[in-house]
Amino acid sequence: MKTNEHVGKIKGLVNGYKSTYVIIAAARLGVFNALSASPMTSTEVATHINVSAEKIEPVMNALVHFGIIEKKNGIFSLSEYRDVLDPDSPLCQLGYINHALNMSDKWRKLEETVKSQEVSINNFNGITGQSEDQTRAFLQAMNTNAVPQAEYLTSHYDFTDHKFIDIGAGYGTYSMKVAKTFGTAEGVALDLPVAAKIIAGNIESENLSNRVRVIGGDYKKDLPNEKFNDAFLFAIIHQESVAECRKLIKSVFDLLEDDGKLYLTSFFLNDNRTEPEFSVLFGVEMLVGSQNGRAYSHSEIHQILKDTGFSAIEAVKEVPGPATLYVATK
């Protein structure tokens, strides 16, 4: 009966938080760290992380049900999820899981946010007002998206002899990948001062300080007065209102040489603003976690780029992860 299906779907959606907290608890308790060393029984894991075996085993059994870990003859292992749960993997999602926990506090205030139109923070990037350690943790969490996207960028586009600017550079991943892949490329990585300090350290550790200059500043007022072949706006525009997004993209347009390219990513919606699921929920996350941020539709960003003066505008949906890459030529 349809009614039973409807009841089941509502219950499934409402109970979604349970799987979230199972994964978060396992990550924070150190279950994945323990299993990254070797397969273990629940008792061995409990000893490793200093908890009760009786209490941790139901959590681990739930992870098996989700398909995240395996259980054979009472032995648990990471199996095929090792690359995203092993702390030593560049694709490790443990930082993102901690970020999800931080955001869950804001999600619990969704009703209050809708009623009051107030938000808990002023800047979604999580950097404003935070310590260097907090900022580093946030940037590392976001870096799990940047690593595969930077690989895609440098394997599909040529930056030989190019000068680029990476706006809201985060962990510096895109700047470093471009500079390392193309030995004649050079550029600027700009982010807020607390993030810029971290970026500078990362770039220095890769011996790229002579080709990637770091600027600690606000992209709304501290963009350099120089020209570039390429500009990167990765996971930035959803922090801004439509008016601020237009201003930012116009500022970037003015930075580019003729035939220069803007590379831009975000989590875009269909024109009905109801698909795909990740982007729909991300739009709600912008409501609870930013002052004016939003999820943009494909038609909205295309129109903004066109109105700004960009000519050839390409949407690349094959980029790794839920984001879409737009490449627009001046």
What's the CATH number of domain 121-329, 3.40.50.720, 3.40.50.2300, 3.40.50.150, 2.130.10.10? 3.40.50.150
Model pTM? 0.89
Quick check: 30 and 59 in contact, CB under 8 A? no
Residues of the chain with pLDDT under 50: 121-125
pLDDT of the residue at 159:
98
Locate 66 and state its tokens. 């989700």
pLDDT at 122: 42
Please give the Cα distance from 116 to 142 (Å, whole number).
29
Phi and psi based region of residue 53 (left: phi greater than 0; alpha: psi -120 to 50; beta: remaining): alpha
Query: What confidence score (pLDDT) does residue 118 get?
Result: 60
Question: Residue 71: what residue type?
Answer: K
Model pLDDT, residue 1? 59
Q: What is the pLDDT of residue 126?
A: 52
Minimal CA–CA distance to 18: which of 87, 70, 77, 65?
A: 65
- The per-residue pLDDT for range 167-189, each reduced to its tens digit, is 999 999 999 999 999 999 999 99
How many Å apart are CA 93 and CA 86, to the nearest integer?
8
pLDDT at 200: 96
> 306, 241 in Cβ contact below 8 A?
no
Indicate where the chain has its CATH 3.40.50.150 domain(s).
Answer: 121-329
| Helix or strand (DSSP H, E) at 71 | strand 70-72
Single-letter amino acid, residue 117: Q
Distance CA 145, CA 31 (A): 23
CATH ID of 2-104, from 3.40.50.960, 1.10.10.10, 3.40.120.10, 3.20.20.70: 1.10.10.10
Q: Can you count the helices (H) and strands (E) in the chain?
A: 14, 9
Residue 121 has a pLDDT of 47
**What are 191-243's pLDDT values in tens digits?**
999 999 999 999 999 999 999 999 999 999 999 999 999 999 999 999 999 99
SS3 call for 39: coil
Residue 196's Cα: distance from chain center in Å? 18
- Of 226, 258, 255, 254, nearest in space to 330 by CA: 258
